[in-house]
Amino acid sequence: MAENRRRHTRQLEVIWEAIKEGTSHPTADQIYEKVRSVIPNISLGTVYRNLQKLVGEGKLQVLTLDRTQHFDPTLERHEHFICEKCGQVYDVFVDAKEMILSSSLSHEGFTVSSHRLALYGFCKHCGK
Amino acid sequence: MAENRRRHTRQLEVIWEAIKEGTSHPTADQIYEKVRSVIPNISLGTVYRNLQKLVGEGKLQVLTLDRTQHFDPTLERHEHFICEKCGQVYDVFVDAKEMILSSSLSHEGFTVSSHRLALYGFCKHCGK
DNA sequence: TTTGATGCAAATCATTTGCATGGGT
DNA sequence: ACCCATGCAAATGATTTGCATCAAA
């Protein structure tokens, strides 16, 4: 597969190091700033291209909030909780249906006031 | 309240008429095109401003897909199903937890393969 | 008449892309 | 040497905004 003809570059290496651990759900720009302390002249475009690559390889998940992408290295199934005051994004390892059950459920200190759910798949006209 | 000092313009009227009924979840641009057949020289900016106004008044809900806003005049609580093949967005009036229960649940002809859930509220540090 | 709303164009923001050059294999 | 990846800058797409003018109240 294409994996074979993929080059191992320092920039990909450093970008991956910058996000592979951590739960802050950084944006491309935040990753760019962090990586710049190691490779000062790296370009934003390269950061975007490598993030795309990592997402394509399944090493990162993308969470789009407010038309801005956030990158998440946590692959196990989980949901996200966004604090409306501080904007912090938390990983929530509780079953989705459990979280939604009560809209004011206090779970580990979180007060859920609303949720946004989008289901993906194939509609009746497009078969499966 | 501000409601009082709000002017009733033809453009707002026509824009509202263009979306108040219907379940196609149009984008600002699609609404713009539709409205242009009635007011040819209306500007996109005006469409955006009036859509914002309607959202602010709670007459429309916003659904962001792929960094593009879609407007939804259906106010009763519901979820959204997006067909990955044709892109059509359907309103789903089934409880969220019921939809998520089975990731391959066949509901009225829909095959759900994945979902995206974001919970909003206040985290433990921000109190309630 | 007053002043909020409009039309138009320029500005923003996040992200993508074209292209000449550089570096991995 | 090949040719994929990079740096840079320009391009894109969606949405916002500044401003002079227009039109509701």
Cβ of A97 and B92 within 8 Å?
A: no
Cβ of B119 and A110 within 8 Å?
A: yes
Report the run of H or E that residue A96 belongs to, with start and end.
helix A96-101
**B97 and B62 both lie in a single domain:** no
Segment A13-43, tens digit of pLDDT: 999 999 999 999 999 999 999 999 999 999 9
Angstrom distance (rounded) from CA A29 to CA A118: 26
The verdict on residue A74 lying in a domain is no
Tell me the shortest Cα–Cα distance from B68 to chain A, in angstroms.
8
Total domains in chain A come to 2
**A65 and A84 both lie in a single domain:** no
Residue B13, CA distances (Å) to A81, A94, B3, B73 in order: 37, 45, 15, 14
Model confidence band, residue B22 (pLDDT cutoffs 50, 70, 90)? very high
Strand D, nucleotides covered by protein (CB < 7 Å): 4-10, 13-18, 23-25
Segment B66-107, tens digit of pLDDT: 999 999 999 998 889 999 888 899 998 876 666 655 544 565
Residue type, A95: D
Q: What is the pTM of this model?
A: 0.89
**B83 and B55 both lie in a single domain:** no
The verdict on residue A26 lying in a domain is yes
At B86, which CATH number? 3.30.1490
Contacts of A50 (CB under 8 A, 6+ apart): A11, A12, A15, A16
Domain that holds residue B33: 2-69
**B59 and B109 both lie in a single domain:** no
